[in-house]
Amino acid sequence: MRHLKLFIACSLDGFIARPNGDVDWLFTDADYGYTEFMSGIDTTIMGNATYRTALKFEDIPFRDKRNIIFTRQPDRESTRFAEYVSGDIIDYTRRLKEEPGAGIWLVGGADIIRQLYRARLIDDYIIAFHPIILGEGIPLFSGPGIQENLRLEELRRYDSGLVQMVHSRRPDEPAG
Distance of alpha carbon 1 from alpha carbon 76, whole angstroms: 29
Q: Which residues pair with 8 in a beta bridge?
A: 127
Give the DSSP letter of residue 64. T
* Closer Cβ to its own copies, 91 or 136, answer by number: 136
> In which element (H, E) is residue 104 found?
strand 103-108
Contacting residue, 58, 147, 172, 174, with its own copies by CB under 8 A: 147
* Closer Cβ to its own copies, 109 or 137, answer by number: 137
Contacting residue, 2, 14, 76, 86, with its own copies by CB under 8 A: 14
Q: Please work out, in degrees rounded to the nearest 5, the angle formed at the alpha carbon of residue 134 by the alpha carbons of 128 and 137.
A: 90
Give the list of residues 6+ apart from residue 68 with CB closer than 8 angstroms, or none.
43, 44, 45, 46, 83, 85, 96
28 near its own copies, rule: CB under 8 A: no
Stretch that binds its own copies, among 72-80, 93-101, 104-112, 161-169 (CB under 8 A): 161-169
- What is the nearest approach in angstroms of its own copies to the Cβ of residue 124? 13
> Please, what sign has the CA dihedral across residues 141, 146, 152, 153?
negative
Contacting residue, 26, 38, 85, 150, with its own copies by CB under 8 A: 150
Instruction: Please report, as ranges, the residues that interact with its own copies according to CB under 8 A.
Output: 12-14, 117, 125, 127, 129, 131-137, 140-141, 143-152, 155, 157, 161-163, 165, 167
